[in-house]
A = this chain, B = another copy of it.
Amino acid sequence: MKRAVCIISGGMDSAVASFIDKKERYEIVAVHFNYGQKKKKKELQAFEALVKVLEAKSYVIDLDFFKQIGASALVDRDIAVPEDGIKPGIPVTYVPFRNGIFLSIAAAIAEKEKASAIYIGVVEEDSSGYPDCRQSFIEAMQKAINLGTKDETTISVKTPLIHLKKEDIVSLGLELGVPLELTWSCYQSEEKACGVCDSCRLRLKGFAKAGVEDPIPYKTRAVL
């Protein structure tokens, strides 16, 4: 059976990507990164719940050093998560080269586990505008991974959501039977989603446009 490393944050996008991976009949090695993000307990809970449903082998990788680097509202408690809507440009929630680091570690795990694919749920256009979600970056990273590992290691980096709109991701999730009620996208809250950070706004917009009620609890629900 083919094997794939699947990077799962616990958010909606990576959950849907992991179910596409499963549908494509890969044996899944699920990887979650604790990088000091503000709602890490809630994300880890979501990851563990998804791993059970997926019946996957899993790695939880602690990356405490992201706090040493800082420079992002997701890991630095002195930088507030913006709540006033998505603006043009790269937001303060951008974590320097986060997906580059995640993909590098996933590549090491893939080489060890003899996996032939890495799944990552990045979204390019309908997103917060992070540079490490662009297709051009993913392609360059795939090339670097294949040149920097053993010649017999061949890894394809799969981004099944990269050109989708959020509403398509919601619909696809429902179609694939993804337990969206187990996923967590909010950047800052752990009891009820804040409903006003960029990630909540994008998720709420997706559900609204798909004409479906988001099953997770919100403090408030911003209109995008």
B90 touches A150 (CB 8 A): yes
Q: Which of B64, B68, B147 contacts A131 (CB 8 A)?
A: B147
B111 touches A96 (CB 8 A): yes
- Knowing A104-B97, A107-B96, the reply to whether A147 touches B136 (Cβ < 8 A) is yes
Interface size bracket, A side: 35 or more
B150 touches A144 (CB 8 A): no
* A209 interface residue (CB < 8 Å to B): no
B140 touches A65 (CB 8 A): no
Residues 120 to 146 of chain A near chain B (Cβ within 8 Å): 131-132, 134, 136-137, 140-141, 143-145
In the complex, A63→B101 CA distance in Å? Answer: 12
Q: Which of B66, B107, B137 contacts A100 (CB 8 A)?
A: B107
With a cutoff of 8 Å between Cβ atoms, the chain B residues found around residue A134 in the complex are: 147-148
SS of A interface (majority): helix
Closest chain-B Cβ to A88's Cβ sits at a distance in Å of 13
B149 touches A132 (CB 8 A): yes
Integer count of this chain's copies in the complex = 2
Residue from A104, A105, A143 with most neighbouring chain B CB atoms (10 Å): A104
- Knowing A112-B70, A112-B71, A140-B140, the reply to whether A100 touches B65 (Cβ < 8 A) is no
- Knowing A69-B112, A90-B150, the reply to whether A145 touches B64 (Cβ < 8 A) is no
With a cutoff of 8 Å between Cβ atoms, the chain B residues found around residue A101 in the complex are: 101, 104-105, 108
A64 touches B62 (CB 8 A): yes
B131 touches A150 (CB 8 A): yes
* A164 interface residue (CB < 8 Å to B): no
B59 touches A62 (CB 8 A): no
Closest chain-B Cβ to A214's Cβ sits at a distance in Å of 30
Q: Which of B96, B105, B147 contacts A108 (CB 8 A)?
A: B96
In the complex, A96→B112 CA distance in Å? Answer: 7
Closest chain-B Cβ to A95's Cβ sits at a distance in Å of 8
Residues of A within 8 A of B (CB): 59, 61-66, 68-71, 90, 94-101, 103-105, 107-109, 111-112, 131-132, 134, 136-137, 140-141, 143-145, 147-151
